[in-house]
Chain A
Amino acid sequence: MSSKTVRETSANNSRAWQQLPLQYAGMAIALIVLVTVFSLRSKTFFSAATFTTIANSIPDLTIVAVGMTFVLIVGGIDLSVGSVLALASSIFAILLTDRHWPIWGAGITAVLCAGVCGWINGFVSAQYRIPAFIVTLGMLEIARGGAYLVTNSETKYIGSSIEWATEPIANLAVSPAFLFAVLVVLAGQWMLHRTVLGRMAVAIGTNAETVRMSGIRTLPTLLSIYTLCGALCGIAALIQTSRLSTADPNSGAGLELAAIAACVIGGTSLRGGSGSVINTFFGVLIVSVLQSGLAQMGASDPMKRIVTGLVIIFAVLVDSLRNNQR
């Protein structure tokens, strides 16, 4: 190896390290700008109470959005996340209250059921080449129906036995659920870049035909990704159930759109092949800061929705302009 190549490679590695935080800088700056603006406009916004509230209200959405990021990266979509969450939460509640299962048993069963829903999504869409949009739309209805079925369409009250998970830890201000969600984000980012599964997901999303023509099987990767997304919905269901102390078969309506919005704001492409779990997390933060900031400024609910919609479009616009420039 010539000395020149050595230098190039090392320069190259260090550049990669320098670029690493740079990828997130845009999102971080946007978040900081948002926080600053709200802090200047509203006296009550910049306070520990606000941030604690935000931190403890986002873990479920964050975890679902991580799963959604992976699904979008392989070039798919999962519209059933909200319903699967409701189903898992219903199963959890029924097992806990009516069947008197231990918490861990009921929790694991709920997560497994959600995982099976995801597996079915992946299997049907990958094996029979049916667009994920259609398959998961079907699952959206099926899982919602299942949730009504197991709960008899009633909201199940569980009580304090599970509330610890979403209550702030003393002296720390944030809940175990939030810490867990952050852990899931970091693990997701690690998985995307440092495991074969993550790399295969990017390869399939970039060009599935190249993957096939390279003699690589796509089914195992797709199954894993959809199953993972389903299982994450199950975990999010446990967190939501804990936060609300109840399991509501109506919960999670519109969650799929909130999760996709977070991914898209974070720069994940709906065409597949690129995305970042950490940026998705920033997407979740931006949306929730926006919501609570607007609320504190006295904006009405319709106004909040209009602004959120504008932000989504603006984020994608910026992304697309930047990509064209390159």
Chain B
Amino acid sequence: MQNVLTTYELTKDYATRAVDTVSLEFKPGEIHALLGANGAGKSTLCKMIAGLVRATSGSMILAGRNYSPRDKKEAERYGVQIVQQELNLVPSLNVAENLFLSNLPHRWGVLKTRRLLDRARQLLRDFGLHSIDPCAHVSELGIGERQMLEIAANLSRDCRILILDEPTAALSLSETELLMQHLHDAKRKGVAILYISHRLDEVERIANRISILRDAKLVGTWPQNTLNQSEMVSFMTYGMDRPEGSSTGVPTPQQPTEVERLHSHPPQKADPLLILHRVSRRPRVQDISFEVAAGEILGIAGLVGSGRTELLRLIFGADRADQGEMEIRYSPAASVQTPRDGLLPLPQTPSQAVERGIVMISEDRKSDGLWLPQSIASNIAWSKFRGNFVELLRPFSSRPANSTAETFRRSLAIRCDNTQHVCEALSGGNQQKVVLAKWLHRDGTIFLFDEPTRGIDPASREIIYQVMRDLCQRGKGLVVVSSDLEELLKISHRIGVISNGRWMKDFQGPDFRREEIVAAMFEGYQNQGKTNVKENEVLQ
């Protein structure tokens, strides 16, 4: 069968290489699954095919012709459609208007409402979405219905290649069933489908072929029936150098490489500093309990979307939890002390969390970590404020703020002409250092880090690790979420794995087994059918 799309050595360079010479073939009427751990390059590859990102090098052939889309519109003209995790529906318009937004039926600019509704009803019927009213506003629909609607809208257009990025993440079991059916229908019509998912049992069920990416490179492509789930996980973890080595024919089985570790010694057996009891915010975070000791770094591993960030936000009070309690036991080593000990509800606001000594270095420095148009000195100075009435009347002098900023500039090696520099103009690494300085200036007992080194140069990375080590030595408790498993292996005393919103396992350092951790990351998504059915029964 002729390929509908072929990629030749497709490559994309950002600060590092995100996709490295990947060559793939897509056949009409075939579901091609793309698997890989975080940062393996799946999303970037899809974006290049869908015209959202231009390739650095390499080429693509679509139906025998050279294909290099400049933007999403051009890709769509060629019949390449992508359904991303963030949806492109207009919430304030109704379902019918959304489905035909690009060519609304009209005469002299006056909408032909009846024809629009008829067409929408027809389309929804074709897709088995009987429950959706074409007159309903999209904002009234659930997230799963929206996802189905968007997929339906894409398939209703001229579609040769359909790219689905984690389409079932927000879907209920019955909706997932429905989606599977439609994918089968689309397949029969000759659409080539590129399917990205963490849910290996789904992949096993519907994919015809499976390609696995690891560290931006293609490991290989297999027909579906030649791989089982544990082999998939193993390929995602080690690539071709599987320890067993038997089925791939690679002769030298490799032991997990020894990582250079941040700490020479494990922490002394210390009492727990923070204890979390059954924290939930359904469906993203379900019943998570753990503890962190003074002087310990607890790494949290998990796939993107598994609920890691959400968990940290709950502990920090940025979002409200459905349930859960925390206990903070202050060790003498910790410098911040508050009289409130014992079992506490989770903080309701970040300011409450900070009062308890919990601080969070968030994932998104641009939207909530920094005051970008302001100077480095201002950013650091402001973090010390509580925002209370009494404090507001106080005079503010910029001189101590400047000297504090100057101290941090030197100790963290923030590269700038002076501390009056606006943060907007700094590089990612230096911006992150300012965020860090902000919180070090504020100080706390428990430090939550969310993706502390994402998109950051190696030199800055080392400095951030140094800061973490210093904090440990001062008896603070650290919780670090990272997509970079190597990083977690290097810095953590202990690694906890979250999968699909649940706490899977704890791994005690210093000798972590990488493959066990990766396997645990996928565990919550495997063989989901049974557990989900059970849950549905309980709910009904």
Contacts and interface: CB of A to CB of B under 8 A. Distances in A.
Given A12-B418, A202-B374, A213 B369 contact: yes
Contacts of B418: 8-9, 12
Interface stretch (A39-47, A154-162, A218-226): A218-226
Contacts of A193: 396
A206 interface: yes
B371 A194 contact: no
A194 B397 contact: yes
B392 A196 contact: yes
Contact of B392 (A8, A12, A197, A274): A197
A214 B406 contact: no
A116 to B, nearest CB: 16
Contact of B350 (A16, A213, A220, A274): A213
Contact of A206 (B354, B362, B374): B374
A22 B367 CA distance: 31
Contacts of B378: 199, 202-203
A216 interface: yes
B71 to A, nearest CB: 25
B381 interface: yes
Contacts of A16: 420
A169 to B, nearest CB: 31
9 tightest CB-CB pairs across the interface, nearest first? A215-B354, A217-B387, A197-B392, A216-B387, A213-B368, A206-B371, A215-B350, A209-B368, A215-B351
B221 interface: no
A215 B393 CA distance: 19
A206 B392 contact: no
Contacts of B386: 215-217
Contacts of B406: 5, 9
A210 B420 CA distance: 19
A100 to B, nearest CB: 36
Contacts of B359: 215
Contact of B395 (A12, A195, A210): A195
A202 to B, nearest CB: 7
Contacts of B385: 196, 199-200, 203, 216
Given A202-B374, A203-B382, A196 B396 contact: yes
Interface string B406-449: 10001000000110100000000000000000100010000000
B389 interface: yes
Give the one of B360, B381, B388, B442 with max A CB within 10 A. Answer: B388
Contacts of B371: 203, 206-207, 210
A50 to B, nearest CB: 39
A249 interface: no
Contacts of B381: 199
B350 A196 contact: no
Give the one of A8, A196, A198, A207 with max B CB within 10 A. Answer: A196
Contact of B372 (A8, A207, A216): A207
Interface string B357-381: 0011010000111111110001001
A127 to B, nearest CB: 13
Contact of A221 (B318, B354, B387, B395): B387
A209 B397 CA distance: 24
B378 to A, nearest CB: 7
A214 B382 contact: yes
Given A200-B387, A220-B387, A213 B382 contact: no
12 contacts: A194-B395, A194-B397, A196-B396, A199-B381, A199-B396, A202-B374, A209-B367, A211-B387, A212-B318, A213-B350, A215-B442, A220-B392
Contacts, number: 112
B402 interface: yes
A206 B396 CA distance: 18
B460 interface: no
A273 interface: yes
Contacts of A214: 350, 354, 382-383, 438, 442
Interface of A: 5, 8-9, 12, 16, 193-200, 202-203, 206-207, 209-221, 224, 273-274
A253 to B, nearest CB: 33
A79 B360 CA distance: 37
Contacts of B355: 215
Nearest to B402: A9
A212 B382 contact: no
A224 B369 contact: no
Given A12-B420, A203-B378, A207-B370, 5 more contacts: A212-B350, A215-B353, A215-B386, A216-B385, A217-B387
Given A210-B368, A216-B382, A197 B393 contact: yes
Nearest to B367: A209
Contacts of B265: none
A216 B389 CA distance: 12
Interface string B388-404: 11011111110000100
Nearest to A11: B418
Give the one of A5, A193, A209, A215 with max B CB within 10 A. Answer: A215
B362 A221 contact: no
B21 interface: no
Contacts of B374: 202-203, 206
A213 B387 contact: no
B528 interface: no
Nearest to B410: A5
A197 B397 CA distance: 12
Nearest to B374: A206
Contacts of B397: 194
Give the one of A202, A207, A214, A220 with max B CB within 10 A. Answer: A214
Contacts of B389: 220, 224
A217 B351 contact: yes
Contacts of B396: 193-196, 198-199
A323 to B, nearest CB: 10
A278 B481 CA distance: 47
B23 interface: no
A139 to B, nearest CB: 22
Contact of B388 (A194, A195, A217, A274): A217
B337 interface: no
Interface string B340-356: 00000000011101110
Contact of A220 (B349, B382, B388): B388
B349 A212 contact: yes
Contacts of B362: 213
A5 B419 CA distance: 11
Contacts of A195: 392-396
A217 B410 CA distance: 30
Contact of B373 (A9, A206, A209, A212): A206
A200 B381 CA distance: 10
